[in-house]
Amino acid sequence: MNLEMVMQELEALGKERTKKIYVSNGAHEPLFGVATGAMKPIFRKIKLNQPLADQLYATGNYDAMYFAGIIADPKAMTEADFDRWMDAAYFYMLSDFVVAVTLAEADIAQEVADKWIASGEELRMSAGWSCYCWLLGNRPDGEFSENKLAKMLDHVENTIHDSPERTKYAMSNFIYTVGVSYLPLHDKAVETAKAVGPVEVNRDKTKSKFLHASENIQKAVDKGQLGFKRKHVRC
């Protein structure tokens, strides 16, 4: 399948209702409004195809960019490729659920995520923290430096309340993910969540919302989810 054929198939799957939901979350034209589950049959025909993924991502069409993440070959992507994708990720559903997810399957994931976290740019920081969440929820605990993650928790505790809005979500989720999926630092994550307390995030046009990492970790504990790891990062 080539670019034109994939775009035609995606367009045929578009639904106005889904499109409105994406737009309400920050997506803008061009987009078709394709439910992510509806993309699976196209993926089965294509499998991984990095050149096609790059072409789709470059269209700027939200659905094509999302599908690019599904067929991307993360191990074939360089740091420059990930940076290029990140440059075009104009809202959190791309930065955190396409670029960060794809990066989480690459061997250079931590190295790139660390640079993004240090960038000072809202969506890059958000993608960096989100990438660690995807990594921690999938890879064995032994692949991480306990000391490094402990310092990252300290950094979140000291900076989350002054961070950009979207970054706050990813940082709060990082505390939660360490608390649930990385057993060596469960207790420290619980302490960090309590020290941080509720985190206020301001959303466009709606009243502010509060994030509660501490409550969410406790809910996971109550459900017996400690040590949870998913088999695959990408669906």
Give the domain extent around 200.
109-235
User: Is residue 152 within 8 Å of 115, Cβ to Cβ?
Assistant: no
In a structure prediction context, what are the per-residue pLDDT tens digits for the chain, which is 235 residues long? 999 999 999 999 999 999 999 999 999 999 999 999 999 999 999 999 999 999 999 999 999 999 999 999 999 999 999 999 999 999 999 999 999 999 999 999 999 999 999 999 999 999 999 999 999 999 999 999 999 999 999 999 999 999 999 999 999 999 999 999 999 999 999 999 999 999 999 876 678 899 999 999 999 999 999 999 999 888 6
List the structure tokens of 141. 């605990």
- Residue 115 inside a domain? The answer is yes
4 assigned to some structural domain: no
Is residue 85 included in any domain, yes or no? no
Task: Decide if 29 is inside a domain.
Answer: no
Q: Are 71 and 20 in contact (CB under 8 A)?
A: no
Go through 115-136 and write b for each residue having 16 or more CB atoms within 10 A of its CB, e for each that does not: ebbeeeebbbbbbbbbbbbbbb
Asked if the structure places residue 127 within a domain, the reply is yes
- Position 54 in a domain: no
pTM above 0.75, yes or no: yes
Q: Is residue 82 part of a domain?
A: no
Confirm whether 49 is domain-assigned: no
- Structural domain total, the chain: 1
- What is the C-alpha to C-alpha distance for residues 144 and 223, in angstroms, rounded to an integer? 25
3-state SS, residue 86: helix
Cβ proximity of 99 and 91 under 8 Å: no
